[in-house]
Amino acid sequence: MDLLLQDKVIIVTGGAKGIGLGICKVLAQEGSIPVIVGRNEADNREAVQEIESASGKAWQVVAELSRPEACALAVQQVLDQFDRIDGLVNNAGVNDGVGLESGDYARFLQSLRNNLVHYYLMAHHALPALKASKGAILNIGSKTAETGQGGTSAYAAANGGRNALTREWAVELLKYGIRVNAIIVAECWTPLYESWLNQQPDPEAKLKTITDNIPLGRRMTTAAEIAQTAAFLLSEKSSHTTGQLFHVDGGYVHLDRALKG
């Protein structure tokens, strides 16, 4: 299926690794130009090189998105380079373990800056260009907002905010023809996830405990599976879809618990 994404300029925050990189690769395969926005220039450039070596196009901007001024500058750099923005994927963030017992006021607020505030700022600064292109916004969220996890109050709160902003922006931006959706991730295999797993006392047993609770195939979701859905939601092939939270999770969140374990 041709998603009609040829030459579309799409910002992907946190696009150098994991789910973000998976999204960038699929967008490039569809002929669009993913713009990676991330804090580490070496990682950004490595991702761009990987995409271009596969005959795609990509670009990158270095930005520490927890700093408000960096969000504005990143968007402006994209406009200076391409004079348009056709889509925004808010993806950057990390489950930083700021819990109710383990956290404090300063760490909680910093986690919200790291995981939620830049979603708003990137959309705010990109909005004039998105109005002009009638582009789309896609927010990447986490199951923690719906299932809880324990020990991660700030990240769960940020993801609850991402879900709420998805619905709120879908309403506010209807008059501009801008669609806003979200993909909710449960257990997705990424280098960061693998690193966390390898820190466990028995990584193999821990992985089995996790995959046993994923009904479809008893396996982790892949970044490519998230990315394929992302590309569709950013494209005109999903032209009458807005304000939706899509769970690409093998049935983890919503299927009957009897199917698990």
**Predicted local distance difference test score (pLDDT) of residue 192:** 85
For the chain, domains (ranges, CATH) are 9-248 (3.40.50.720)
**Predicted local distance difference test score (pLDDT) of residue 103:** 83
> Can you list the positions of beta strands (E) in 106-235?
136-142, 179-185, 188-189, 221-222
**Predicted local distance difference test score (pLDDT) of residue 212:** 93
Intervals of the chain under pLDDT 70: 260-261
* Rounded Cα–Cα distance for residues 260 and 167 (Å): 30
- Determine contact, residues 51/57, Cβ cutoff 8 Å: yes
**Predicted local distance difference test score (pLDDT) of residue 196:** 85
Q: Would you call 245 helix, strand, or coil by DSSP? A: strand
**Predicted local distance difference test score (pLDDT) of residue 77:** 98
Closest to 23 in 3D by CA, of 121, 122, 96, 92: 92
Query: How many other CB atoms sit within 10 Å of the CB of residue 70?
Result: 18
* Rounded Cα–Cα distance for residues 242 and 88 (Å): 14
- Determine contact, residues 46/22, Cβ cutoff 8 Å: no
Rounded to two decimals, what is the model's pTM?
Answer: 0.95
* Rounded Cα–Cα distance for residues 84 and 133 (Å): 7
C-alpha angle 57-183-215 in degrees, rounded to nearest 5: 120
**Predicted local distance difference test score (pLDDT) of residue 260:** 64
The CA distances from residue 151 to 56, 99, 199, 207, in Å, are 40, 4, 17, 20
Catalytic residues: 155
Phi, psi of 114 (to 5 degrees): -75, -25
Residue 29 C-beta-side C-alpha neighbours within 13 Å? 13
Closest to 84 in 3D by CA, of 45, 47, 133: 133
**Predicted local distance difference test score (pLDDT) of residue 256:** 79
Q: Which residue has the tokens 């705010």?
A: 124
- Determine contact, residues 96/141, Cβ cutoff 8 Å: no
- Determine contact, residues 40/65, Cβ cutoff 8 Å: no
Closest to 80 in 3D by CA, of 39, 41, 35: 35
**Predicted local distance difference test score (pLDDT) of residue 243:** 98
